[in-house]
Amino acid sequence: MTLRDKTAEDSPRSWVRAALYDARIRGWVFQAVVLVVLLLLTLWILHNTAANLRAANIPFGFDFLHMRAGFDISQKPIDYTLDSSHAQAFKIGLLNTIILSVLGIVFATIIGFIVGISRLSNNWLLAKAATVYVETLRNIPLLLQLLFWYKAVLSVLPGPRQGYMLPLATNLSNRGLTMPRPIFGQGFDFVMWALLVAAAIAWGLARWARTRQAATGQPFPVFWASAGLVVGLPLLVFLALGAPLTFEIPVLKGFNFVGGMVIHPELIAMVLGLSLYTATFIAETVRAGILAVSVGQSEAAFSLGLQPGQTMRLIVVPQAMRVIIPPLTSQYLNLTKNSSLALAIGYPDLVAVFAGSTLNITGHAIEVIAITMAVYLALSLITAAVMNWFNARVALVER
């Protein structure tokens, strides 16, 4: 034993062998090799890119953002002319992407929850209809659905003269949805303030009612009281100020409407396609979440004497939400990323405006693609962070 130890210490070869078989040293060597390979690859790519850019005579840099854009955009939530800069075009693209994603998320959530609960309905027709809806739309590419809504449904609608008149002076035609535009008169901001104040009071009321119920067992009709507050207070202020709100009704002149507010068919097709497609995934999430709450939970609630509505609201939904929220988050992220398909039907979102028009005009491929990817990455990371925070709040607190 001692003899072997001695030789092991003395011989330099066995020291090397020991190092070679040491998992830690091997790990460091392996990492160093990967690091060097990655560095060399990056350098090689940078070198090639620099050479290619020099050959194409495109200097690398972000100065192009301040140059005149010179292309028009069909839907602009903020000021934009042909003389605006590419930076302004970028802002419009980003805003349009956000508008589209928010609208899509709201509708997809509503449809998804309704369909998901319908699939579990005792009503055979409703459950089957929900199943058919989910299984059909889930298995068809989103791009195809967007093209379908845009090319096969909205473009073949009749022109404004023969368009479908809907209630509230709204008209659906191949120019989109034309509706009255609200004009906010003087003092309308007070109504908004009243709404905020009412919401704050409702929140305080809910807290007070919860504490009181915990202390005395006396329930308080929080829902109706809050609803009355949130609707009533702004309405009172509105009427007291003499109803400072008028509508500009669109009028048919020649071949199109004049005045009013238009939602373009591209936006309608995008919102329809995105929300109907994503809703199928949300519906499956919701269904799985509700099924994940064991029947014993509802039975226990019934045996405590809770009403079916209360059981749903107080026992089943909070537990189901815990299962639903993480996949729901990734569906919201998917929807945001899928909104980039707007390019295919000409809705001016970030990709269409910036990675499309700006890239084609300036040729700054690397900068433009990098900025576009960074924006989506940031949106994804922010959504993920917010949802993780929310998830941590509702997560099961285990001892």
Partner 1 sequence: MSRIETDTVFVRRDFLSPEPPPASFGGFPGWARRHLFSSPLNIAISLLMLLFVAWALPPLIRWLFVDAVWTGSNREACLPKNGEPMGACWAFVNAKLAQFTFGSYPADQRWRPALVMIVFFLGLAAVAVPGTPGRRRIVWLMLTAFPVAAFWLLYGGLGLPVVETSNWGGLLVTLVVAVTGIVASLPLGILLALGRRSKLPFIKIVSVVFIEIWRGVPLITVLFMASVMLPLFLPNGVNFDKLLRALIGVAMFTGAYMAETIRGGLQAIPRGQYEGAASLGLSYWQSMRLVVLPQALKIVIPGIVNSFISLFKDTSLVMIIGLYDLLGSIQRNFSDANWSTPSIAPTGLIFAAAVFWVFCFSMSRYSMYMERKLNTGRKR
> Which residues sit at the interface with partner 1, rule CB under 8 A?
27, 30-31, 34-35, 38, 45, 48-49, 51-53, 55, 121-126, 129, 135-136, 138-145, 147-148, 151-153, 155-156, 337-338, 340-341, 343-344, 351, 355, 359, 365-366, 369, 372-373, 376-377, 380-381
- CA 320, CA 67: separation in Å to the nearest integer? 52
- CA 141, CA 149: separation in Å to the nearest integer? 13
Instruction: Provide the minimum distance between the beta carbon of 55 and partner 1 in the complex, in angstroms, as a whole number.
Output: 6
Question: In a 3-state reduction of DSSP, which class is residue 178?
Answer: strand
Report the residue number, 158 or 318, with the smaller CB distance to partner 1: 158
Instruction: Provide the minimum distance between the beta carbon of 182 and partner 1 in the complex, in angstroms, as a whole number.
Output: 32
**CA distances, 315 to each of 203, 290, 309, 364 (Å):** 22, 11, 10, 55
Report the residue number, 85 or 380, with the smaller CB distance to partner 1: 380
Of 326, 351, 327, give the one whose Cα is nearest residue 337. Answer: 351
Instruction: Provide the minimum distance between the beta carbon of 111 and partner 1 in the complex, in angstroms, as a whole number.
Output: 15
Instruction: Provide the minimum distance between the beta carbon of 47 and partner 1 in the complex, in angstroms, as a whole number.
Output: 9
Report the residue number, 107 or 149, with the smaller CB distance to partner 1: 149
- CA 157, CA 164: separation in Å to the nearest integer? 9
Report the residue number, 69 or 341, with the smaller CB distance to partner 1: 341
What does residue 262 show for φ and ψ, rounded to 5 degrees?
-115, 130
Report the residue number, 380 or 388, with the smaller CB distance to partner 1: 380
- CA 27, CA 116: separation in Å to the nearest integer? 49
Which amino acid, one-letter code, is at 301? A
- CA 121, CA 130: separation in Å to the nearest integer? 9
Instruction: Provide the minimum distance between the beta carbon of 370 and partner 1 in the complex, in angstroms, as a whole number.
Output: 9
DSSP string over 287-304: HHHHHHS-HHHHHHHHHT
Instruction: Provide the minimum distance between the beta carbon of 246 and partner 1 in the complex, in angstroms, as a whole number.
Output: 37
Report the residue number, 142 or 271, with the smaller CB distance to partner 1: 142
Report the residue number, 156 or 295, with the smaller CB distance to partner 1: 156
Instruction: Provide the minimum distance between the beta carbon of 366 and partner 1 in the complex, in angstroms, as a whole number.
Output: 6
Strands 245-248 and 251-253, how do they pair?
A: unpaired
Of 366, 49, 306, give the one whose Cα is nearest residue 298. Answer: 306
